[in-house]
Amino acid sequence: MMKLRIGRFSYSNLFPLFFMLDSEADCSSYEFIEGVPSELNRKIRQGEIDVSPSSSIEYLRNQELYDLIPNHSISSRGPVGSIFLFSKRPIETLDGLTVLTTSQSETSVVLLHIILTKFYNIFCHLMPTSEPIASALRSHEAYLLIGDDALTEALKWPGLHIYDLGDLWYKNTGLPSVFALWIARRQCCMDRPGLLERFREDLDRAKDRALRDLPAVAAVSPLRHVLTQEELVAYWKGISFDFGQEHRQGLDLFSRYARQLGLM
């Protein structure tokens, strides 16, 4: 039987769930394919994988292709802890300037555009780059970074203004930021409904088990030599892995703003 091809973030935000999937579930019917969000978005869109945690903007732009995996997301009600705008000047003074953005993310770039335009009434040219932050900030005033790079770089730049995009969104809307959703290609849902349902059950159990035992997960995290156990647990507790009514409201508002700004 063909295996279910599952996208896997190479970031620590979903490490607890994938660790528990590896440890607790029978994964013999699954093939995990690693990548950053922008890569996984492309792969699931092109049918190279069947199920994935993918950028919210990917789901919103191509809803006809996908079904949501219920009750799962990467969201935050306030600071998310790994999506930062590093700036040499206050954010409200960036009007008219070029802001560099990671090439690994799509939702975060759209979110930054919304925040700058809707909440600060300023316009910046957002330019993707793979350049390291140290060299990038020699020539530009601000840089959007996500994932483990953002987590670790935030410890190294005490002189910069560092803005958490989840925090800026929540302060201005009172709603969660929904950065990623678990989605399945609709064709996969029709071709292998039993296998997909089994994965959904495994994912539910992995989430419940991970959230009950975050200190044990932190003890084996790849970032355990960079962040303390307490810091890792606090980071994961700041993430909402659910997707309920309030998350849907946050996603709908994000979608509405993105459409208004021509970003869909």
pLDDT of 102 reads: 86
**Helices 107-114 and 165-173 sit at what angle, rounded to 10 degrees?**
50
Q: How many domains does the chain have?
A: 2
Instruction: Choose one of 154, 173, 192: the last residue of a domain.
Output: 173
Tell me the one-letter amino acid at 40. L
Tell me the one-letter amino acid at 211. L
Residue whose C-alpha is closest to residue 75's, from 61, 58, 56, 59: 56
Q: Are 43 and 111 in contact (CB under 8 A)?
A: no
Residue ranges making up the domain that contains 155? 83-173
Q: Are residues 147 and 212 in the same domain?
A: no
DSSP 240: B
Q: Are 135 and 103 in contact (CB under 8 A)?
A: no
Q: Are residues 113 and 241 in the same domain?
A: no
Tens of pLDDT along 45-69? 999 999 999 999 999 999 999 999 9
pLDDT of 244 reads: 96
Provide the CATH number for the domain around residue 87: 3.40.190.10
pLDDT of 189 reads: 63
Q: Which residues of the chain have pLDDT under 50?
A: none
Q: Are 180 and 53 in contact (CB under 8 A)?
A: yes
Q: Are residues 35 and 99 in the same domain?
A: no
Instruction: Choose one of 139, 158, 173: the last residue of a domain.
Output: 173
pLDDT of 55 reads: 93
Q: Are residues 10 and 63 in the same domain?
A: yes
Instruction: Choose one of 130, 156, 173: the last residue of a domain.
Output: 173
